[in-house]
Structures are given as C-alpha cells and as structure tokens.
Amino acid sequence: MIYLSPYMKNSLLQNELTNLMGDKCSLSESVRYNYSRGEDVYDPVLPDAVLFPETNEEISNILKICNNHKVPIVPFGTGTSLEGSAVGIQNGVSISLERMNKILKVNEEDFDCRVQAFVTREQLNEHLKDKGVFFPIDPGANASLGGMTSTSASGTMAVKYGTMKTVVSGLTVILAS
C-alpha cells in the first residue's frame, strides 16, 4: 500500500499533476524515497510525488497547480547538500531538476555562461576545458549549479575566486504567478 499525505489524497491535485506531467510524475514509493533526503544528517521526509520537468514552462505550471492547492514543493538537484535543502519540512511535491542539464551558452570572452539548474560543476568544466576558462567553485561534491547557488557554495578556491554569491551574475526565477 502506498502512503499518501492529505495533499495527494486530493484526487483533483493528483489528476492535475499526472495530466500535466504524464510519465514525468511518479507516485512510486521507491522513487519518492530516493528524493526524500540529501547527504545531510536529517531524517528523510517522503514527498507525495516526484515530478521531472524539462522546461521552465512545465515548472511554472507545476508551481501554479501546487500553489492553487497550497501544496509545498522542494526542488531537488543532485542531492549532495549537507544543509538539508533537499528535505521537505512536511510532505508535498519534489521537483527533480535532473532533466534540466543543458549548457545553453558560453561566452568565454566575458567569462560567463547560461546553464540550466542541473548542470554540474564537473559537466561545466569539461565543457569549458578547451576554451581557456574554468568554473572555480568546488564544494567537494559534483553538485548542480542550481543547488550550489541556493546554498552559496564555496570550496577550496573561495579565497581567490569567491563563492557562488560572487560568481552568479543572473538567475531565471520561476514563480507560481
């Protein structure tokens, strides 16, 4: 038997999410468990559903549905966070960003690039290695840049190059509105 919190027992919510996302919406207990924690010390909190969007528009629609139903959401990157940012404070919906892993544009002359949230630091550096530039933030894990931004990650080269707070020059923020 699959346990669902009062949020997902609402068949209207469940129908809206599955209609929007199709097979990119999982209610499977094993999948939900995989998205219930990071590398932190906190107890896992099982989300009611895990969604796998591929576009900003899908995320916006997910947020609208969850906002209308007053359902909390937790974005999930690589799960390497030590701060507990991948754990919900209550049940709700986990939005896995793993399908948003594209490097959109690199402008090596200006030392900047546009990436999606799940691009990892190793992926970006592999892409940059022949361009004479590199991404300096190294928190010690192959973290996603979205997750690193959310925690202002740093690392061994922070004294010379700064933290995420100093290297991020812009964000695309998706809101329920």
Q: Where are the beta strands (DSSP E) in 78-119?
A: 93-96, 103-107, 112-115
pLDDT > 70? residue 3: no
Q: In what order do the strands lie in the sheet with 73-76?
A: 25-26, 49-51, 93-96, 73-76
Residue 144 per-residue DSSP state: B
For the stretch 34-49, pLDDT in tens is 998 878 888 888 999 9
What is the C-alpha separation between 81 and 74, in angstroms, rounded? 13
More confident residue, 80 or 69: 69
More confident residue, 82 or 164: 164
pLDDT > 50? residue 147: yes
pLDDT > 90? residue 12: no
**pTM exceeds 0.85:** yes
Q: Where are the beta strands (DSSP E) in 15-166?
A: 25-26, 49-51, 73-76, 93-96, 103-107, 112-115
Q: Where are the beta strands (DSSP E) in the chain?
A: 25-26, 49-51, 73-76, 93-96, 103-107, 112-115
Q: Amino acid letter at 57?
A: E
- DSSP lists the bridge partners of residue 112 as 107
Is residue 102 within 8 A of residue 145, CB to CB? The reply is no
